Chain A
Amino acid sequence: DAKTTQPNSMESNEEEPVHLPCNHSTISGTDYIHWYRQLPSQGPEYVIHGLTSNVNNRMASLAIAEDRKSSTLILHRATLRDAAVYYCILTRNQFYFGTGTSLTVIP
């Protein structure tokens, strides 16, 4: 499965937008891009996913580069509840988790 690269950690001020990057230069045409987040002491939670086009839902937006070699998860207004580890995953069926980005939200 194709590998993803994410920054280990990021910080954001509360109520400001957050852009979480993910590089996946070896992505194949059939790989979906998924984002999950894990709050402390909880199982991972689905955030958003897409294949080629940008996607929006009530939690976030997913911006996918035209060549699909990178993507960005956008949280429009960070809240303290958004502090979590965010995982970017490429998948055809199985989901392999990398190390993710630990997001700290500063009040």
Chain B
Amino acid sequence: SAVISQKPSRDICQRGTSLTIQCQVDSQVTMMFWYRQQPGQSLTLIATANQGSEATYESGFVIDKFPISRPNLTFSTLTVSNMSPEDSSIYLCSVGQGAGYEQYFGPGTRLTVT
């Protein structure tokens, strides 16, 4: 299993600012993912964070809005840029070794944009 921590656990930010969320894993993992969960909704995959290369973004998400870094096999960051109230969500990171393996999730970062 993998233990995942996220920082911050929650934040309240003003419109137009940016927030960087950190995801730390206690072991080296191949794949890291970032999700968004809006209030009362299911999880939506934002991107796959690849170590040593650009992240792969899902439809509807762009690098300018959600830049991602993956400097090593245990750490990743997601930045939410130029925030608006519509970005108020829980942001979660997860890790896995591929489809044949379980995926582990962090506790999430609750973001409120005012």
Contacts and interface: CB of A to CB of B under 8 A. Distances in A.
Q: What's the dominant secondary structure at chain B's contact region?
A: strand
Interface string B92-109: 101010111011111110
A51 B104 contact: no
B44 interface: yes
Contacts, number: 52
B43 interface: yes
Interface residues of B, number: 22
Interface stretch (A9-17, A19-27, A67-75, A87-95): A87-95
Q: What's the dominant secondary structure at chain A's contact region?
A: loop
Nearest to A44: B105
Contacts of A98: 42
A92 B99 contact: yes
Contacts of A87: 42
Interface of B: 31, 33, 35, 42-45, 48, 58, 92, 94, 96, 98-100, 102-108
A32 B42 contact: no
B45 A91 contact: no
A53 to B, nearest CB: 13
Contacts of A44: 43, 92, 94, 105
Interface residues of A, number: 24
Sorted nearest first, the 4 A-B pairs with minimum C-beta distance are A43-B105, A46-B102, A97-B43, A32-B99
